[in-house]
Amino acid sequence: MTQMPVTEIQSCARAERQPIRHRLADRGVDWSLLLLGPAVAVIAGLFLYPFIYGLSISFQPQAGGGALANYKNFFADSYQVGSILKTLRLALPVAFLSVALAAPLAYRCRRDFRGRKVVTLVVMLPITFGGILIAQGMPRVFSPVGWLNLTLKAIGLPQADLIYNYQGTFIAALLTSLPLSFLMMMGFFGGIDRSLEHAAATLGAGRAARFWRIILPLAAPGILTAFMLALVESFAIFPSAILVGQPDNQTHVLTIPIYQAASQNSDYTMASAIAVVLTAIELLILGVVVFVRGRLFKGPATAGKG
């Protein structure tokens, strides 16, 4: 009888322990994670790194005075601190109104109808053209000698003061925000199974009851999501605050001091500090909305087959 070759003895022993590749795969780590690599590299390198770098230099003020000097100076300056309030005064109402106005429109458009493609096209125009184009076109419409005021004068109504102030930026923001809210919610409302509405009708629910008791509760999570997205956009308002707003006063939102610190004063540490403040405030508000959303029903809006 020949002896078992040495290699066979060794591999017998090795077979007892699972290869490390399998153990990793059990925990979800395998070659497919490589597909994630480039994306992680981009996000880490082009976002996280600059962001954290900015965070760190915000604690190294250019003019010295200790780590928190930038923040202290910012909060000590009532004009700058006021921009926090101005940001919220603009962002929250814009987001809220965007969703509130878009919701009934989206609800009516949830089913396919003949002009739907045209409506979609019109709605996508502001998104495609962007805020700068909207801001560019507004003066001729809203200025004291613009089309709107000419019309009002002709009818005999008082003049409207809707540009180069809070209202101007508000309108510009709403024009770009409404379409996105509309599209999102049209999808959400449309995604609610039709048979649910039919069932409610056969049980005696009229149009109002169907909306308030069935559609709205099921669409509520989606509406909140749309609100959050609108909020995200409205925190980022910048060009329209300058072009059709009052960047020194009424629409002195947080993005403007960041821009000023960076390009006019070349004080990158201060710019980063203000950026941190903006980030913190936005994340705080979003966090509150997420919390509220978590309390609501989040199940599928289908009729559910067991």
Partner 1 sequence: MSTTTIAPAPSSAPTADTTASARSRPTVTAVLTWMIGGLFAATLLAVLASVIVTSISASWGGGWLPDGYTFSWFRQAWDTPGLARSIEVTFEVAAADVAAALLIGVPAGYVLARKRFPGRNAIMLFTLLPVILPPLTYAVQLAALMYRLGIGGTLLSVILVNLVPILPLVMLITVPFVEQISPDVEHAARVFGADNLRLFSRVLVPLLSPGIVAAAVLSLVRVLGSFELTFFVSGAKTQTLVVTIFGALSDPGGPPPALTAAMTVFYMAIALLGLLISLRFANPAQTLARPAHRTL
Partner 2 sequence: MAITTAGANQNQHTSAVEFERLSLRGVTRAYGKNPPALRDFDLELGRGDFVALLGPSGCGKSTALACLAGLQPLTRGSIWRDGERIDTRPAEKRGFGMVFQNYALFPHLSVQKNVEFGLAMRRVARRQRQERALAALRTVQLEEHLGKLPSQLSGGQQQRVAIARALAIEPEVVLMDEPLSNLDAALRVEMRTEIKRIYQERGLTVLYVTHDQEEALSLATRLVVLRKGRLEQTGTPQEVYANPVSAYVAGFMGYRNLFPARFLASGPGRGVSVTAFGRSLAGTLISGGGLAADAEVTVAIRPEDLVISADADAGAVTALAEVVEYHGRELSVQARTSDGGVLHVKTDQPVVAGSTLALTARADRVLVYQGGLDRDEFAIEAGTQ
Instruction: Point out which residues bind partner 2 (CB under 8 A).
Output: 193, 195-196, 198-206, 209, 213-214, 217-218, 297, 299-306
To the nearest whole angstrom, how small is the minimum distance from the Cβ of residue 261 to partner 1?
8
Name the residue nearer to partner 2 (CB basis): 10 or 195.
195
Residue 242, binding choice from partner 2, partner 1, none, Cβ under 5 to 8 Å by partner class: partner 1
Name the residue nearer to partner 2 (CB basis): 202 or 264.
202
Name the residue nearer to partner 1 (CB basis): 12 or 303.
303
Residue 205, binding choice from partner 1, partner 2, none, Cβ under 5 to 8 Å by partner class: partner 2
To the nearest whole angstrom, how small is the minimum distance from the Cβ of residue 225 to partner 2?
16
Residue 67, binding choice from partner 1, partner 2, none, Cβ under 5 to 8 Å by partner class: none
To the nearest whole angstrom, how small is the minimum distance from the Cβ of residue 22 to partner 1?
15
Using alpha carbons, select from 170, 130, 163, 125 the residue that is nearest to residue 144.
163
Residue 268, binding choice from partner 1, partner 2, none, Cβ under 5 to 8 Å by partner class: partner 1
Using alpha carbons, select from 91, 76, 2 the residue that is nearest to residue 273.
76
To the nearest whole angstrom, how small is the minimum distance from the Cβ of residue 206 to partner 2?
5
Does the CA dihedral 25-27-28-34 come out positive or negative? negative
Q: Are 192 and 198 in contact (CB under 8 A)?
A: no
To the nearest whole angstrom, how small is the minimum distance from the Cβ of residue 213 to partner 2?
8
Name the residue nearer to partner 2 (CB basis): 156 or 206.
206
Name the residue nearer to partner 2 (CB basis): 127 or 201.
201
